């Protein structure tokens, strides 16, 4: 195991303890909507939302970089494409 895996496990355990210790029911309001829900569910939901949005953002950036690299490999106007195996 490398340091990144150990740090992830430690922070995950600390987060789990934090969520378990915050189980009180709280009122949540958004615009004209209001409900009561466990604070642990709010914390877990925001964690999942942040994780998913971060992964989605990384995926979008990676696809953009791949498209840019592929575009850079295309011959520009007026250039002949290189032929492999040319003698």
pLDDT per position as a tens digit, 30-81? 898 999 999 888 888 888 999 899 999 999 999 888 888 877 777 776 666 6
Is 49 part of any domain? yes
On whether residue 23 sits in a domain, the answer given is yes
Residue 40 in domain: yes
- Residue 85 forms part of a structural domain: no
Handedness of CA 49, 50, 52, 57 (dihedral sign): positive
Q: Helices in the chain by DSSP H: which ranges? A: 3-21, 39-73
Residue range(s) defining the domain that contains residue 42? 3-72
- Does residue 82 lie within any of the structural domains? no
What's the rounded Cα separation, in Å, for the pair 18 and 10?
12
Nearest to 28 by CA among 41, 16, 17: 41
Count of structural domains within the chain: 1
Domain assignment of residue 81, yes or no: no
The pTM (predicted TM-score) of the whole model is 0.60
């Amino acid at each position: 195991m490398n340091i990144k895996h150990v740090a992830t496990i430690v922070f995950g355990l600390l987060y789990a303890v934090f969520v378990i210790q915050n189980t009180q029911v709280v009122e949540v309001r958004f615009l004209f909507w209001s409900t009561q829900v466990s604070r642990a569910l709010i914390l877990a939901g925001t964690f999942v939302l942040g994780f998913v949005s971060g992964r989605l953002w990384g995926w979008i950036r990676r696809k953009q970089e791949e498209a840019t690299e592929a575009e850079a490999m295309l011959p520009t106007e007026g250039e002949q494409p290189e032929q492999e195996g040319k003698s």
